[in-house]
Amino acid sequence: MKVLCGIGGSDDSFRALDRTVDRAAVANDDLTIAVVDNEDSSVSPDEVVERAEAAADEAEIDAEVRRVEGDPGSRLVEIAETEGFEEIVLGGGHTSPMGKITIGPIAEFVLLNAKTSVTLVR
Amino acid sequence: MSDRGYPDAVADEFPPPPTAFTDREDREIEIRPYEGDDETREALVEMYDAFDPADRAQGIPPGGEDRIREWLSAILAGDCYNVIAWCGDEVAGHATLVPDGDAYELAIFVHQEYQRAGIGTHLIRGLLGHGQANGVEKVWLTVERWNRAAVSLYKKIGFETSDAESFELEMGLRLHAADDEDADPDPDDGGE
């Protein structure tokens, strides 16, 4: 399957990265990892790119890691549409001290606007 | 999730528990703080194990006894404030304040059998009274915007919406004035 995994450096985005890479290794997915701007993230985009490349190397898969600038949600939807991706994978949300799950604005936008299936990794 | 907003005005004084009242179904309900005893913890596990999954909010309470125990051990910890509504020796509802930096996150659950009887209002007032008595300054919560009963309860209590941009509404309440003059009053009332 042709999979687009969008990550911005939040904890849940790294969880999504690890799972998507593991799955790609088993299922032979054609994986592209898009590193987007997440203003809520404390990790710099360069560092996120490094983590993504390291994860792909470790799983011995040939994934493309791409830096995507601009509004993250709309850019992901646009890339998925123009390049024929079949699925968008994102982090599954932030967990509050109480244990409540909150979905961030990037996931909200993608969920409501994507024409592909969207997976939120928990 | 930083820079939460809180009302400038301090909320009313809430009655610290223990309190007692008769609910709209003529049941005697007592509101008491959780004192850390195992018996109460087991009664809470029982309530959450019987909790209707349709009334879950943003993933809590979790399903299954193991997950319930794991979740409770986090929110019944010594740095949290917990208040329980009892009907005899059965838990009718539970409300909690969990520390989050200089504020506390609030959640409240009333078992299906005890809903729509006025217990939620007494329970949340009891929790806020308990928090106020212990010096809690700021409280925030999130609520699914379609949960109109909960939203109107929070508004009635004095919570004000601080973020309405996502699926969930975020609301805040100030229980005490800040100790010091706020170094960064953050008068940002424009959109972001």
Interval B133-159: pLDDT, tens: 999 999 999 999 888 889 999 999 999
Query: Distance of CA A107 to CAs A49, A77, A93, B86, Å?
Result: 20, 11, 8, 40
Q: Report yes or no: B147 at the A interface, CB cutoff 8 Å.
A: no
Report which listed range, A39-53, A89-103, B81-95, B156-170, is most confident: B81-95
Rounded to 5 degrees, what angle do the CA atoms B72, B77, B83 make?
A: 75
Taking CB atoms and an 8 Å cutoff, what residues of chain A touch B57?
100
CB contact under 8 A, B105 and A98: yes
Answer whether B86's CB lies under 8 Å from B32's CB. yes
pLDDT for position B97:
98
Q: Is the pLDDT of residue A41 over 90?
A: no
pLDDT for position B3:
63
pLDDT for position A104:
86
pLDDT for position B179:
64
Answer whether B84's CB lies under 8 Å from B91's CB. yes
pLDDT for position B10:
94
Q: What is the DSSP letter of B53?
A: G
pLDDT for position B90:
97
Residue recorded with tokens 């998507």:
A20
The pLDDT mean for chain A works out to: 96
Give mean pLDDT, residues A18-46.
95
Q: Which residue has the higher pLDDT, A4 or B12?
A: A4
> Which residue in A95, A97, A102 is closest to B168 by CB distance?
A102
- With b meaning 16 or more CB within 10 Å and e meaning fewer, what string describes A26-44? eeebebbbbbbbbeebebe
Q: Which one of A94, A95, A100 would you mutate to disrupt binding with B, by most B Cβ within 10 Å of its Cβ?
A: A100
Residue B192 banded pLDDT, cuts 50, 70, 90: very low
Q: At what angle do helices B38-49 and B65-75 cross, to 10 degrees?
A: 130
Q: Is the pLDDT of residue B73 over 80?
A: yes
pLDDT for position B182:
46
pLDDT 10s digits, A47-86: 999 999 999 999 999 999 999 999 999 999 999 999 999 9
pLDDT for position B165:
81
Q: Report yes or no: A84 at the B interface, CB cutoff 8 Å.
A: no
- Check: complex ipTM more than 0.85: no
pLDDT for position B184:
45
Q: Is the pLDDT of residue B190 over 70?
A: no
Domains in chain A with CATH codes = 2-121 (3.40.50.620)
Lowest mean pLDDT among A41-45, B73-77, B165-169: B165-169
Q: Is the pLDDT of residue B13 over 90?
A: yes
The pLDDT mean for chain B works out to: 91
Give mean pLDDT, residues A102-121.
94
pLDDT 10s digits, B101-113: 999 999 999 999 9
CB contact under 8 A, B105 and A40: no
Q: Is the pLDDT of residue A26 over 90?
A: yes
Instruction: Return the CATH number of the domain spanning residue range B19-174.
Output: 3.40.630.30
Taking CB atoms and an 8 Å cutoff, what residues of chain A touch B107?
98, 100
| pTM listed for this prediction | 0.86
pLDDT for position B1:
44
Give mean pLDDT, residues B41-65.
96
